[in-house]
Amino acid sequence: LVRAAGVEDLSTVEAFIQPFVEQGRLLPRTTDELELLLPSGFVALLDGQLGGFAALEVYSNKLAELRSL
């Protein structure tokens, strides 16, 4: 199941990405940064557990960045 991310997902997303940050595979994100990404974010759930998070940060009509995949 893929659904829009909500504020209720914040702590789960933080915990989910932390191992990837520690491995150097993702840049660290503060709680405030992640909270700003939630309105444009999506979570993927597998058997009720978080399996992924992605957010699209739009900079202009021609430029956007896929974040925290």
The residue with greater pLDDT, 3 or 66, is 3
User: CA-CA distances (angstroms) from residue 48 to 2, 52, 56?
Assistant: 11, 12, 23
**Contact predicate 40/57, CB 8 Å:** yes
Q: Taking 70 as the threshold, does the pLDDT of residue 69 lie above it?
A: no
Q: Is residue 20 helix, strand or coil?
A: helix
pLDDT tens track for 8-49: 999 999 999 999 999 999 889 899 999 999 999 999 999 999
Distance CA 57, CA 64 (A): 6
Quote the DSSP letter at residue 64.
E
pTM: 0.81
